[in-house]
C-alpha cells in the first residue's frame, strides 16, 4: 500500500499547485484527477489480488 500513499501524495501536490498557480489551474486539476484515478485503480488491483488469494485459500 506504499504505492497508494505515493499516488495520493502526488494527487495532493497537484491540488496544492492548482490552488497556487491560477494561470495553470485547469492543468493541475486535470493532473490531480489522473492521480486520483490511478489511486482508484491501485485500490481495485489490491482488492482483486486479495480476493484471488482468499479464493485459493478457500479451495485448499
The pLDDT assigned to 18 comes to: 98
Enter the C-alpha cell of residue 28: 493541475
Can you give the pTM of this predicted structure?
0.79
Q: Give the C-alpha separation, 21 to 5, whole Å.
A: 24
Is the model's pLDDT at 57 over the cut of 80? Answer: no
Which value, to the nearest 10 degrees, does the dihedral of the CA atoms of residues 35, 37, 39, 21 take? 20
CA distance 24 to 26: 6
Residue 17 cell numbers, joined: 499547485
Give me the pLDDT at residue 21, please: 98
Q: Count of domains in the chain?
A: 1
Domain membership of residue 41 as a residue range? 2-59
User: Taking 90 as the threshold, does the pLDDT of residue 60 lie above it?
Assistant: no
Q: What is the pLDDT of residues 2-56, one digit of tens each?
A: 999 999 999 999 999 999 999 999 999 999 999 999 999 999 999 988 877 667 7
pLDDT of residue 42: 95
Amino acid at each position: 500500500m506504499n504505492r497508494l500513499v505515493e499516488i495520493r501524495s502526488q494527487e495532493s501536490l497537484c491540488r496544492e499547485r492548482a490552488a497556487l498557480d491560477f494561470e495553470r489551474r485547469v492543468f493541475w486539476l486535470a493532473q490531480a484527477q489522473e492521480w486520483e484515478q490511478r489511486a482508484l485503480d491501485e485500490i481495485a488491483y489490491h482488492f482483486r489480488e486479495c480476493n484471488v488469494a482468499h479464493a485459493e485459500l478457500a479451495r485448499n
